[in-house]
Structure 1
Amino acid sequence: MLGILRYGFINTKIRGMKREFIAYEQYLKLAELNYDELIDELKRTPYGHAFRGMYKTPTPIELEKILLEELTKSYIKVLKWLPTEAMKVIALHMMKYEAENIKALLRLKTLNAEVERLKQHITPIPLGLSVEEYVKVYEESKDIEEVIGKLMELGLPIPLNEAIEGGVKDIKIIEARIERMTYRELMNEAKKLDGKSLKSIRELLGLEIDLTNVKNVLRAKKIGIDWSELEEYVITPTYKVKLKKLKSAFEKGN
């Protein structure tokens, strides 16, 4: 995958990193636990060091941040060993996590939350904006429109202004639009890659798009919203699960 497996020294490094991953059997065990038990068990996994020095159980948001920070550390390790073409692919994929930071920033701005809460929700990623840059944007903006304007001035590769087209104020729709734009830009950037890198990243992103769309359809079905509203949350273009098939599945029974 990514045209890098022929590099023996990289394979050696990756095999070494496998000791840092959670084994399949551990995932099965984690899925059966309640939240407090889950935290206790995570402390016994390769991620246990991230919980050292904590004097209280992390909230779900704090836990997500801890695990994302561990993921970015793994990406940083891999970036050191990759040839240029594969490095572009990894950097490209990290855009998704930048989008999550942006959505957290916008959500907190709608709540007029304290800046300390923002710091808890932002996880800096390689080649992305720093916590300090997010804080500066947050403090200097009075509303979502100003936040988006200042973020675009920082040169983010996502056309965030499209998220508020038509005067949209609903944060759920804004977040859905950002997610769609992120995948669209990822696909556009992926087209600039060559050979195996292009094929692999397009397949990976396509699978993620399909899974996200199916997840959104299931959620919409559960809470009883209609298709016209759901369309704002569907990521297009789809990959193998086409829009027509999604709509057909949605309009059927349970």
Structure 2
Amino acid sequence: MGSITRYAAINSKLKAMERRFLSKEQYRKIFQCMSYEEVANYIKDYTLYGEVYKNYFGEEIQEENIQYALMKEHINNFHSISSFFNGEYKKLFNIMFMKYQFEDLTLVIREKHTGRNHINIKSLITYDSPLNKIPFEKVIGAKDVNEVMSILKDSAYKKYLHSNIDFQNDESLFRLEMSLDYIYYTEIIKVLDRLDREDKVIMKGMVGVYIDLLNLQFIYRAKKYYNLTPEEILNRTIPNGYKININKLKELCYTKNLDEFISILQKTKYKDLFKYGLKEDYMLQRDILDYIRKIHLKYKKEHKNNIGTVFSYLQLALFEIKDIISLMEAKRYNVADEELLNYISFNID
């Protein structure tokens, strides 16, 4: 299948899938719901996501079932879209799927680390896909983190593991998350060089923005919470960013405090992330997602015959699922209405 023909077929599929996206009016209705259960019923009865839920669970509403159904459907769609591609593009999708696997793996390891052993952990992860390379059944059944790491040393991901992570404290989890992010973006950059020229330029720009923002968030968290040296922070940043070069990274890593970090950041493309000074972590995460979302909305609107449209759809679909889940959790814990906007990746007005 030729490139133009292939993307024309994919775009038709994506347009059909986009019909599930919620309107701002539907978000407003969710905001008006009084409880977790009311949101769940609204999703089931008044949105196209209800069809997804009913496919898995019928009419019965149970906690976490919606999260599982939405993520499972998203992973199925990811696999379906990947089937349009072959060669280096197939490799790209296999690497992109690593992000989902690493998020699931981090969740399971965090459960083992804290000793909570969530009784419904299988409902929170999406490992059962043909693209999966991690033996999650064994990982979930492990008694502790050390056993998880032992299992993974025999998996396809053994080359990615670092023996110096001992999981004695939360800093170890932070180091693991950053190591997995480093692995993911390093691997994805490698395959981008083998794409068609237009797709390579587009993806390098998009992925480069992700790398910039992840590095900024990592440096911010490292300085705010953890006793990492500037050298260690710099060594754990991810190369091949879009607008933050190595010299600027060094400057940011070697700042003496967060105020100096923000002052230097004001001279970059991402100055608006801290234009009001220091902020809570969840507010920074929301603003980062909003920044990325605007980039992807541009590509979604244009529906060009290139990889940018496909990547943007997958990211926007994932953002929406996470927004729905965040709002449901906010309702579960009776978050005040004026705070709800802080839990989604865009401004509803």
Pick the TM interval, shorter chain: 0.7 to 0.9
Map of 1:108 onto structure 2: 111
Change in Cα spacing, 1:54 to 1:114, as seen in structure 2 (3 Å) is farther
Following TM superposition, by how much is the alpha carbon of 1:99 offset from its aligned partner in structure 2, in angstroms? 0.6
Distance 1:51 1:86, change over 3 A: same
Comparing 240-249 with 206-215, greater Cα deviation is found at 240-249
- Give the match for residue 78 of structure 1: 81
Task: Work out which of the residue numbers 100, 103, 111 in structure 2 matches 1:97.
Answer: 100
Q: Which residue does the alignment assign to 1:14?
A: 14
Structure 2 gaps of 5+ residues are: 264-276, 279-349
- Match of residue 121, structure 2, among 98, 118, 123: 118
What per-residue deviation string (whole Å, max 9, x for no partner) do you get for residues 151-177 of structure 1? 232213x73322x42645322322232
Who is 1:250 aligned against? 261
Could you tell me whether the CA contact under 8 Å between 2:30 and 2:42 is conserved in 1?
no
1:50 aligned partner: 52
Q: Structure 2 matches for 1:198-213, cutoff 5 A?
A: 198-213=200-215
AA at the equivalent of 1:94: F
1:128, distance to aligned residue in structure 2 (A): 0.8
Deviation at 1:147, TM superposition (A): 1.8
Aligned pairs (5 A) from 1:119-134: 119-124=122-127, 125-129=129-133, 133-134=135-136
Ranked by relative contact order (alpha carbons within 8 Å, sequence separation 6 or more), the top structure is 2
Pairs aligned (count): 242
Supply the AA of the counterpart residue of 2:187: E
Range that drifts further, 231-240 or 97-106: 231-240
RMSD over aligned Cα, in angstroms? 3.8
Structure 1 gaps, min length 5: none
- Describe the shift of the 1:84–1:181 C-alpha distance in structure 2 as closer, same or farther (beyond 3 A): closer
Instruction: Give the TM-score, by structure 1 length.
Output: 0.72
User: Structure 1 pair 214/73, CA: closer, same or farther in 2 (3 Å)?
Assistant: same
Q: CA deviation at 1:127?
A: 1.2
1:152 and 2:158 matched? no
Contact 1:68 / 1:123 at 8 angstroms: preserved in 2? Answer: yes
**Percentage identity across paired residues of the two chains:** 23
